[in-house]
């Protein structure tokens, strides 16, 4: 069970770290694409590129993956370098808290990933070209995009697809880590219960060993001395 828990935590750390890195790379690539389009726009044409939907969902997903990476790093350090906890905080409670926090973070990533996947698979950036106060038709914008070899469709961007794909592994191993942490908590609880029962059994055995002697002293009847009187009738 410990090997499975540590393995799932390690894989959750790896994939959440990769997903967070892909999110940062997506922000960089998106900014680079905008700069490239504006730089290569025809003279006198002002481009306005609105990709706020993918930016917002991508930032939320990247932050949540970074939190899972930090969390699993801490849990792995606690697993490999345990330290004694003072007070009455038990290891069982510690595993339970870890399971709740991991499950909450994984659920956050799952919700953010659903929204991100919907945006990536169904939407595209809104590009508006203007000459002065005159807005150019979309056909002219699309023709310029084809000439530059770019596309406003999100799904055609490899860096967005990679993040949408890899993050599912972070969700998978984050979920498994939560389950194994819950199982570790229950396993320790059962072990403590068995130790408690064995301790009580030992005490009862000790009581049984001394009980007959106690009964002997407690219930021994006092000796009764009888006197026989010789009565002679007249």
d(CA 154, CA 44): 27
CA distances from residue 228 to 65, 131, 212, 223, 231 in whole angstroms, order as listed? 101, 141, 36, 16, 9
Q: What share of the chain is helix, strand, coil (3-state, %, to 5)?
A: 75, 5, 20
d(CA 37, CA 30): 11
Do residues 154 and 54 touch, judged by C-beta distance below 8 A?
A: yes
Q: Which residues contact 134 (CB under 8 A, 6 or more apart)?
A: none
**pLDDT value, residue 232:** 41
Q: Which residues contact 16 (CB under 8 A, 6 or more apart)?
A: 65, 66, 68, 69, 72, 109, 170, 174
Do residues 15 and 173 touch, judged by C-beta distance below 8 A?
A: yes
Look at the block and give the residue holding tokens 């030992």.
202
Length of the chain: 234
d(CA 69, CA 177): 12
Residue 234, token pair as written in the block: 């007249």
Sheet holding 126-131, edge to edge: 46-50, 126-131, 134-135
- CB count within 10 Å of CB 219 equals 7
Dihedral angle over CA of 207, 213, 219, 223, nearest 10: -170
What does the pLDDT profile of the chain (234 residues) look like in tens digits?
589 999 999 999 999 999 999 999 999 999 999 999 888 888 888 889 999 999 999 999 999 999 999 999 999 988 887 654 433 444 778 889 999 999 999 999 999 999 999 999 999 999 999 988 888 898 888 888 888 888 999 999 999 999 999 999 999 999 999 999 999 888 866 655 444 445 555 555 554 454 445 444 444 545 444 444 444 444
The H or E element that residue 135 is part of is strand 134-135
Locate the DSSP E strands across 7-133: 46-50, 126-131
**pLDDT value, residue 218:** 46
Residue 2, token pair as written in the block: 């410990």
């Amino acid at each position: 069970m410990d090997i499975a828990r540590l393995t799932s935590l390690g894989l959750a750390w790896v994939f959440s770290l990769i997903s967070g890195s892909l999110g940062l790379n997506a922000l960089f690539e998106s900014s680079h694409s905008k700069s490239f389009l504006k730089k290569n726009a025809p003279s006198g044409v002002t481009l306005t590129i609105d990709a706020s939907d993918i930016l917002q969902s991508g930032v939320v997903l990247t932050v949540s993956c970074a939190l899972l990476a930090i969390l699993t790093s801490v849990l792995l350090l606690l697993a490999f370098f345990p330290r004694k906890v003072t007070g009455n905080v038990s290891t069982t409670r510690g595993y339970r808290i870890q399971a709740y926090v991991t499950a909450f973070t994984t659920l956050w990533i799952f919700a953010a990933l659903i929204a991100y996947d919907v945006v990536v698979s169904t939407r595209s950036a809104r590009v508006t070209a203007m000459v002065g106060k005159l807005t150019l038709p979309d056909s002219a914008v699309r023709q310029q995009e084809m000439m530059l070899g770019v596309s406003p469709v999100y799904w055609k961007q490899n860096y967005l697809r990679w993040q949408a794909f890899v993050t599912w592994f972070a969700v998978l191993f984050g979920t498994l880590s939560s389950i194994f942490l819950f199982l570790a908590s229950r396993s320790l609880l059962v072990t403590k219960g068995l130790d408690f029962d064995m301790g009580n059994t030992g005490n009862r055995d000790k009581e049984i060993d001394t009980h007959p002697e106690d009964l002997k002293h407690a219930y021994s009847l006092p000796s009764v001395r009888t006197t026989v009187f010789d009565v002679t009738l007249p």
